[in-house]
């Protein structure tokens, strides 16, 4: 059914454009002159984007109220043209999950911008920070609004670059530089798989396009201003293409080509969303300033992987193996990260592992769904939505605490509840939310994930997810108790004071959102495949989950609230001995990677290649230069400066020409 | 005696003979140009070459257009130009000698690489 | 007939003489002797011109070429002090190359001559002519067949050459002269003077 698109929907390109303009203007023109205005302009630009996003969301859901929400592409621009009718376009795609992500990204980004005006005050790189934040916001929005997989890949890389720049923001610290390099290299390596997957899909897309595209309904193809193209998600996800592609097999091992492509694409998603074993970059990424951690490594960039899987969900669903892989990896990561998170002392590290764990939840929710029972899809997106708010809040509050205490370690904090009341309240709200205590947001989204797992009969996954829920409550309340209760454990904690208003205002807003976001009836908006049977809260799941959370809180209380409790915790730690130390060292995975890179890759691959490059490649170039120089030198020996010698040459030349004429003319 | 005279009379030098003579003179001059070490010696070789060129003109005048005098006029011009050339060349050699104290052309090699 | 036989004989005699004298010009190590040989070549050439019916030219040759140019060359030999010394021999490579190239040149031109034919009118005996008068008329003839323009330009050229020669060879200020005496003192030619005038200050040559 044709609907008249309103202003916001037709001009959806403004949403990424405003941060882009901010990036250019702030970076080139404002940053050299006034740091303060750099912050103000960037913040206003992102807020404008956020308002626009809300308008789009309102219009879109209002317009299609009660109907099947279609995918609209109101704006495109042709970028690469291979043939007339087959080209790669850049555009903005409006469909339920892109609207959701757009709202999340702009909101969190705007709040982080606001917060950073207070947090980064006095830093010499203040203007540079906002430039990079604007760049990141633009890249993430471009990724979210991508109508085809090529645009998504382009902005995927751009987001990686922004992350690199922001993690390494304190570029004079060697650890920060190393962390940014690590993040970039790991995600780039993962993107290799992604690229191969994209190329595979694109190739078969192009091959099949002429024969399949006429039969694809326009309704499914989306209302696009540029017509269906082979790289479009609408095309790749269409049943016709999947039916054509699924039976194809790779030449060796008999793997399905579709499975291979989706597994490779998932490799990219796993890298960006830090799934095991590509998770190693996320804890180190905490070297960046805290607002960066809040924005990028909690709420937005890391969910790009989840978003990608959701975007290509029909394709993933067509290949059971790929979906199984997603489920297994997601489940394992959530458990793995939760276990490690219980032992870390750096508050940001704990939050990083918590993020890993929650991302695992989102992935497993997608993994347990099928097109016939797609509750997990909705649940995953719902959890993404709520997680963004409370995780960003946790990070920003942690930032306020770190700012006040001048240390990252929880053992330097303590008793901050009285010193920083607003921060304390917000942090508590977020911690309750993440633990899944009703009626806060986390409870609803986690509940849906558990329900999805159970409904699709993945009992092991259900059990692990329950366990992780308990662990989550445990480690989150561990840091809560150590940080906000108990005695002042350090000098900084004694002299802590509340954050300035620019910093606690975003905290308060996010706290409110964390509380109420759970009441959004997500399944009205976000669904795919078969219609959902809407049942509301399933008490059979909600009650045990809440009990697990309360159990976790209780154990944390027992072990960490107060001095006697912490003594008990220490005794437990020494009793567990080796196990405790292994977990605390993150299962030595980083050391394994380091071993492989240094001992194996450097010695057996890098060194020979470097030798080859220096001696053969450079040698070849040097050789050509040497030959030219030597030839020139040899020829210059003929320039004796004596005119008679020149006369000799001249005469010889004239005779030679004469002989040539003789030979030529007979 | 008569036979010899007759033979000689029949063998009057034709165009080719004259041209070969002038070419031989020219080659000798060329050899001197390329080989002589003294600057003045080179100039003398050049004079030989110019003289042979003028001879060439006159030879063609005699054989191709006997009634006209254009070849002779060209030879006169050659002589005039040779004179101008010698004047300038000598001036240069004198100045060169004053500066370098030698007219050995092998020593005048500042154009060297 | 006798005339023709004499003509042939004269040709070969004069040709041999000029070739031998030319060889002397290029090979003689004492330059004054070479200058004399040059004089001989030019005089013999005058004779050859006379044989070709260019009597006026022969006179001009002797007057200008021999009487002017060779004298000028002798002056130059004296001024550059090349008279007393033997000229150095050229090194072997150079003389070999020079010989090869000259002979090559000779060979190629002779070969070209052999393979070409010139369109010649029927051989006619030399008509009596007043070539001095004719040459004069032709030189001042201002139609397209005349040579008045080159004539005028040649006079300009000679003027330029004279002026240029004076400018190049004039004596500069006494302070810049490498010699102050006339150069007659024994051994003065071997005097080691600085290669450039700027080095004089160091060696303190002048007065």
- Among the partner-chain residues A648, A651, A662, the one whose CB lies closest to the CB of C105 is A651
Chain A positions in Cβ-Cβ contact with residue B34 (cut-off 8 Å):
644, 647-648, 651
**Quick one: pLDDT at residue A218?**
59
Residue B28 forms contact with A (CB below 8 Å): no
* Inter-residue contact A357 to A334 (CB < 8 Å): yes
Pairing of strands A86-94, A223-224: unpaired
Neighbours of chain C (3+ CB pairs under 8 A): A, B
Cβ-proximal residues to A649 (8 Å cutoff; 6+ apart), any chain: A638
| The pLDDT of residue C206 is above 50 | no
Contacts of A592 (CB under 8 A, 6+ apart): none
Picking from B13, B86, B89, the nearest residue to C8 by CB comes out as B13
Residues of C in contact with A652 (CB under 8 A): 97, 101
Nearest residue on chain B to A637, alpha-carbon basis = B113
> Between A652, A659, A662, which is nearest C101 by CB?
A652
| pLDDT greater than 90 at residue A158 | yes
Chain A touched by B38 (CB under 8 Å)? no
* Tens-place pLDDT, residues A340-371: 998 888 999 999 999 999 999 999 999 998 88
A234: its two tokens:
């609408």
- Contact A180/A168 with Cβ under 8 angstroms? yes
Q: Nearest-CA distance from B1 to chain C in Å?
A: 11
pLDDT of residue C197: 46
Higher pLDDT, C158 or C184: C158
What's the pLDDT at A458? Answer: 85
Contacts of C111 in chain A (CB under 8 A): 662
Task: Say if C107 is an interface residue toward chain A (CB within 8 Å).
Answer: no
Each residue of A251-290: pLDDT tens digit? 666 678 888 889 999 999 999 998 988 999 999 999 889 9
Residues 18-37 (B) with a CB less than 8 A from some CB of C: 19-21, 23-32, 34-37
- The CA distance from B34 to A322, in Å, is 88
Categorize the per-residue pLDDT at C204 as very low, low, confident or very high, splitting at 50, 70 and 90.
very low
Contacts of B77 in chain C (CB under 8 A): 150, 154
Report yes or no: B108 at the C interface, CB cutoff 8 Å: no
> Closest partner residue to B90 among C76, C97, C135, by Cβ?
C76
Residue A66 — pLDDT band, cuts 50, 70, 90? Answer: low
Which residues on chain A are in Cβ contact (under 8 Å) with C103?
Answer: none
Using CA atoms, how far apart are residues A13 and A231, in angstroms rounded to an integer? Answer: 20
Q: Please state which of the ranges A13-22, A576-585, C39-48 shows the lowest mean pLDDT.
A: A576-585
Least CA distance to B2: which residue of chain C? C2
- Least CB–CB distance from A648: residue in C101, C108, C111: C101
Exposure pattern of A380-403 as b/e (b: 16+ CB <10 Å)? bbbbbbbbbbbbbbbbbbbbbbbb
Residues on chain A touching B109 (C-beta within 8 angstroms): 640-642
Rounded Cα–Cα distance for residues A553 and A435 (Å): 8
Sign of the torsion formed by the C-alpha atoms of A179, A181, A184 and A188: negative
Q: Which residues of A touch B (CB under 8 A)?
A: 636-637, 639-644, 647-648, 651
pLDDT tens-digit series, residues A127-143: 999 999 999 999 999 99
User: Any CB–CB contact under 8 A between B53 and chain C?
Assistant: no
- pLDDT tens digits, one per residue of A512-546: 988 888 888 777 777 777 776 665 667 788 888 88
Chain pair B-C, CB pairs under 8 angstroms: 249
Q: Pick from C51, C39, C53: which is nearest to C14 by CA?
A: C51
How close does chain C come to B109, measured CA to CA in Å? 13
Distance CA A620, CA A610 (A): 15
Average of per-residue pLDDT values in chain A? 86
The pLDDT of residue A64: 77
Who's near A443: CB < 8 A, 6+ residues apart?
A433, A436, A437, A518, A542, A545, A546
Q: What is the pLDDT of residues C165-182, one digit of tens each?
A: 998 888 766 555 555 555
State the nearest Cα–Cα gap between C26 and chain B, in angstroms: 5
Local confidence band at C205 (pLDDT 50, 70, 90 cut-offs): very low
ipTM attached to this prediction: 0.90
Of B30, B77, B101, the CB nearest to C193: B101
- Which pLDDT tens digit goes with each residue over B54-102? 999 999 999 888 888 899 999 999 999 999 999 999 999 888 888 877 7
For residue range A441-491, list pLDDT tens digits in order.
888 889 889 988 888 888 899 999 999 999 999 999 999 988 888 787 777
Q: What mean pLDDT do residues A538-562 have?
A: 85
Residue contact B73–C7, C-beta within 8 A = no
Q: What pLDDT was estimated at residue A254?
A: 67
Name the pTM for this structure. Answer: 0.69
Q: What is the pLDDT of residues A282-337, one digit of tens each?
A: 999 998 899 999 998 777 888 899 999 999 998 898 888 889 999 999 999 999 99
């Amino acid at each position: 059914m044709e609907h008249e698109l309103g202003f916001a929907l037709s001009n959806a390109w403004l949403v990424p454009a405003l941060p882009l303009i901010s990036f250019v203007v702030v970076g080139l023109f404002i940053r050299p002159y006034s740091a303060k205005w750099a912050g103000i302009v960037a913040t206003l630009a992102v807020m404008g984007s956020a308002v626009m996003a809300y308008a789009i969301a309102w219009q879109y859901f209002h317009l299609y109220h009660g109907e099947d929400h279609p995918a609209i592409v109101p704006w495109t621009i042709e970028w690469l043209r291979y043939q007339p009718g087959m080209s790669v376009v850049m555009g903005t795609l409006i469909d339920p999950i892109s609207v959701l992500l757009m709202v999340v990204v702009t909101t969190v980004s705007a709040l982080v911008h606001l917060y950073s005006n207070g947090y980064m005050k006095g830093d010499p790189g203040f203007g540079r920070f906002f430039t990079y934040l604007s760049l990141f916001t633009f890249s993430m929005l471009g990724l979210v609004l991508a109508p085809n997989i090529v645009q998504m890949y382009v902005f995927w890389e751009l987001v990686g670059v922004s992350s690199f720049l922001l993690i390494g923001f304190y570029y004079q610290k060697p650890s920060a530089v190393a962390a940014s390099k690590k993040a970039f290299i790991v995600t780039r390596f993962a993107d290799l798989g992604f690229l191969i997957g994209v190329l595979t899909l694109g190739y078969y897309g192009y091959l099949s396009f002429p024969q399949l595209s006429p039969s694809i309904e326009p309704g499914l193809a989306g209302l696009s201003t540029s017509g269906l193209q082979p790289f479009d998600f609408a095309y790749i996800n269409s049943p016709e293409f999947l039916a054509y592609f699924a039976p194809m097999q790779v030449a060796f091992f008999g793997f399905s080509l579709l499975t291979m492509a989706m597994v490779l694409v998932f490799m990219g998603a796993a890298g960006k969303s830090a799934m095991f074993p590509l998770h190693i970059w996320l804890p180190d990424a905490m070297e960046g300033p805290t607002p960066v951690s809040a924005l990028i490594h909690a709420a937005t960039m890391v969910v790009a992987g989840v978003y990608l899987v959701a975007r290509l969900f029909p394709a993933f669903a067509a290949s059971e193996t790929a979906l199984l892989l997603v489920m297994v990896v997601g489940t394992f990561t959530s458990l793995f990260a939760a276990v490690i998170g219980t032992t870390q002392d750096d508050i940001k590290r704990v939050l990083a592992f918590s993020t890993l764990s929650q991302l695992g939840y989102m992935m497993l929710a997608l993994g347990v769904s099928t097109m016939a029972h797609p509750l997990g899809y909705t649940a995953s997106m719902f959890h993404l939505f709520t997680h963004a708010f409370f995780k960003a809040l946790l990070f920003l509050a942690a930032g306020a605490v770190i700012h006040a205490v001048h240390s990252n370690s929880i053992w330097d904090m303590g008793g901050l509840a009285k010193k920083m009341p607003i921060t304390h309240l917000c942090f508590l709200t977020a911690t309750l939310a993440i633990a899944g205590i009703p009626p806060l947001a986390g409870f609803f989204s986690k509940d849906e994930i558990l329900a999805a797992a159970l409904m699709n009969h993945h009992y092991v996954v259900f059990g692990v997810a329950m366990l992780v829920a308990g662990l989550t409550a445990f480690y989150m309340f561990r840091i809560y108790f150590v940080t906000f209760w108990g005695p002042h454990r350090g000098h900084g904690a004694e002299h802590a004071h509340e954050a300035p208003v620019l910093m606690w205002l975003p905290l308060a807003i996010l706290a409110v959102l964390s509380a109420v976001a759970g009441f959004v009836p997500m399944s009205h908006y976000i669904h795919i495949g078969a219609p959902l049977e809407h049942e509301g809260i399933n008490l059979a799941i909600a009650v045990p989950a809440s009990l697990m959370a309360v159990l976790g809180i209780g154990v944390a209380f027992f072990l960490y609230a107060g001095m006697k409790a912490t003594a008990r915790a220490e005794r437990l730690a020494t009793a567990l001995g080796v196990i405790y130390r292994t977990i605390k060292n993150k299962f030595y995975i980083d050391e394994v990677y380091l071993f492989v890179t240094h001992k194996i890759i450097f010695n057996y691959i890098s060194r020979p290649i470097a030798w080859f490059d220096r001696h053969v490649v450079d040698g070849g170039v040097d050789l050509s230069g040497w030959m030219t120089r030597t030839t020139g030198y040899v020829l210059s020996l003929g320039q004796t400066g004596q005119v008679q010698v020149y006369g000799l040459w001249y005469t010889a030349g004239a005779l030679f020409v004469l002989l040539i004429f003789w030979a030529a003319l007979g | 005696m008569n036979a010899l005279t007759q033979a000689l009379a029949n063998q009057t030098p034709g165009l080719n003979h004259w041209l070969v003579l002038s070419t031989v003179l020219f080659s000798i001059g060329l050899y001197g140009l390329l080989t002589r070490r003294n600057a003045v010696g080179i100039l003398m070789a050049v004079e030989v070459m110019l003289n042979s060129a003028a001879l060439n003109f006159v030879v063609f005048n005699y054989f191709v257009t006997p009634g006209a005098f254009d070849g002779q006029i060209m030879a006169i011009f050659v002589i005039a130009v040779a004179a101008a050339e010698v004047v300038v060349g000598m001036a240069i050699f004198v100045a060169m000698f004053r500066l370098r104290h030698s007219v050995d052309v092998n020593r005048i090699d500042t154009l060297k690489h | 007939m006798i005339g023709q036989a004499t003509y042939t004989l004269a040709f070969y005699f004069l040709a041999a003489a000029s070739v031998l004298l030319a060889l002397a010009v290029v090979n003689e190590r004492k330059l004054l002797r070479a200058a004399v040989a040059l004089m001989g070549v030019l005089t013999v050439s005058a004779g050859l011109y006379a044989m070709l019916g260019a009597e006026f030219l022969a006179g001009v040759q002797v007057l200008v070429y021999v009487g002017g140019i060779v004298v000028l060359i002798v002056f130059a030999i004296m001024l550059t002090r090349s008279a007393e010394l033997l000229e150095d021999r050229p090194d072997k490579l150079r003389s070999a190359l020079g010989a090869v190239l000259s002979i090559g040149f000779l060979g190629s031109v002779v070969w070209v001559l052999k393979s070409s034919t010139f369109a010649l009118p029927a051989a006619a005996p030399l008509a009596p002519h007043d070539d001095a008068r004719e040459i004069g008329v032709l030189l001042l003839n201002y139609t397209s067949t005349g040579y008045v323009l080159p004539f005028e330009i040649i006079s300009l050229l000679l003027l330029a050459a004279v002026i240029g020669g004076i400018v190049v060879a004039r004596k500069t200020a006494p302070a810049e002269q490498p010699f102050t005496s006339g150069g007659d003192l024994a051994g003065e030619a071997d005097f080691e003077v600085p290669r450039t005038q700027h080095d004089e200050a160091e060696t303190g040559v002048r007065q």
